[in-house]
Chain A
Amino acid sequence: MSALILHWALLGAHAMLSLGLLLAAYRLFSGPHAQDRVLAFDAVYLNGMLQVILLGMRNGSAVFFEAALLMGLLGFVSSAALAKFLMRGEVIE
């Protein structure tokens, strides 16, 4: 019973996160300005990270968490670098 509840909850969460990722990806491809694209890129990264965590729960292994941690930090660094690039035209001055 509890396994069934968990299975369907994880599946529903996966579906919602995938839909959110698709919406953010649409904004990423059709964003009118570059800053909209960076914002959507950040949202895509976050959705992917949460999906990796859900995969870890589904497989019952804590190894996925490290991948999620890396994704979160890389998402931050790359968004900051992109914002810096929009500001200055170069990343490292």
Chain B
Amino acid sequence: MSLDLPLWASLLVAALVLFGAFLTLLGAFGLLRAPTFYSRAHPPTLGATMGMASVLLGSMVYFSVTGSRLFVHELLLIIALPVVAPVTMMLLARAALFRDRQVRRYAEEQSERARRVADELRRMEEEAAQHEVTASATTVSGTERDAEEGQAS
């Protein structure tokens, strides 16, 4: 590390770098703590815009002061990353919405199927009960039942 840095420059660089790193840490903490995906999408953008820009500005000041000329190549990242970040976010949010919708549709289909099976079961039970009633009525005369069975077969 070169040591020929004035005090104001080192203080400025230290403040910018620490601020940016703190914002990024805050974003990662929010990513860890937020409850749902849609709330989790918000905190990391803190580090992806302001934190990144702050660290890069610190780097810009550092290299411009230690070097003999102005270094602005960090502006490439400062401009490029906030431009491309929303593209990723939009693609990801649309994918998440699509997947959530698929999951919900699957659950609805399953519950609909379960309801249909339960209805069928209840209908069959009712039929069986009715059949039992008629069967107990017809057992009084066995001949009738035999005739019925013969008809059925």
Q: Size of chain A's interface in residues, with CB distance under 8 A?
A: 55
| Residues of chain B contacted by A49 (CB below 8 angstroms) | 52
Question: Restricting to A21-42, which residues have a CB under 8 Å from any CB of B?
Answer: 21, 23-24, 26-27, 33-36, 38-40, 42
Q: Are B31 and A54 in contact (CB under 8 A)?
A: no
Q: Per DSSP, are chain A's interface residues mostly helix, strand or loop, or mixed?
A: helix
Contact-residue size bin, chain B (C-beta under 8 Å from the other chain): 35 or more
Whole-angstrom distance between the alpha carbons of A51 and B125 in the complex? 69
Most buried by B among A2, A20, A46, A60: A20
Question: Restricting to B37-56, which residues have a CB under 8 Å from any CB of A?
Answer: 37, 40-41, 44, 47-48, 51-52, 55-56
Q: Are A42 and B44 in contact (CB under 8 A)?
A: yes
Query: Is the CB of B3 closer than 8 A to any CB of chain A?
Result: yes
Given contacts A3-B3, A72-B81, A83-B92, contact A54 B55 (CB under 8 A): yes
Whole-angstrom distance between the alpha carbons of A71 and B132 in the complex? 76
| Residues of chain B contacted by A16 (CB below 8 angstroms) | 18, 21-22, 24-25
Q: Are B55 and A83 in contact (CB under 8 A)?
A: no
0 or 1 for each of B77-115: is its CB under 8 Å from A? (1 = yes) = 100110011011001101110110000000000000000
Given contacts A46-B47, A73-B80, contact A2 B18 (CB under 8 A): no
Q: How far is the CB of B104 from chain A (nearest CB, A)?
A: 14
Given contacts A47-B47, A54-B17, A54-B55, 10 further A-B contacts (CB under 8 A): A3-B3, A13-B55, A19-B28, A24-B31, A24-B44, A39-B92, A57-B62, A60-B1, A76-B84, A87-B98
Q: Closest 3 CB pairs between A and B?
A: A9-B14, A20-B28, A2-B10
What are some 10 contacts across the A-B interface (CB < 8 A)?
A7-B1, A13-B21, A20-B24, A24-B28, A34-B99, A38-B92, A65-B73, A76-B85, A84-B91, A86-B98
Report B's interface with A, CB cutoff 8 A.
1-3, 5-7, 9-11, 13-15, 17-18, 20-22, 24-25, 27-29, 31-32, 37, 40-41, 44, 47-48, 51-52, 55-56, 58-59, 62-63, 66, 71, 73-74, 76-77, 80-81, 84-85, 87-88, 91-92, 94-96, 98-99
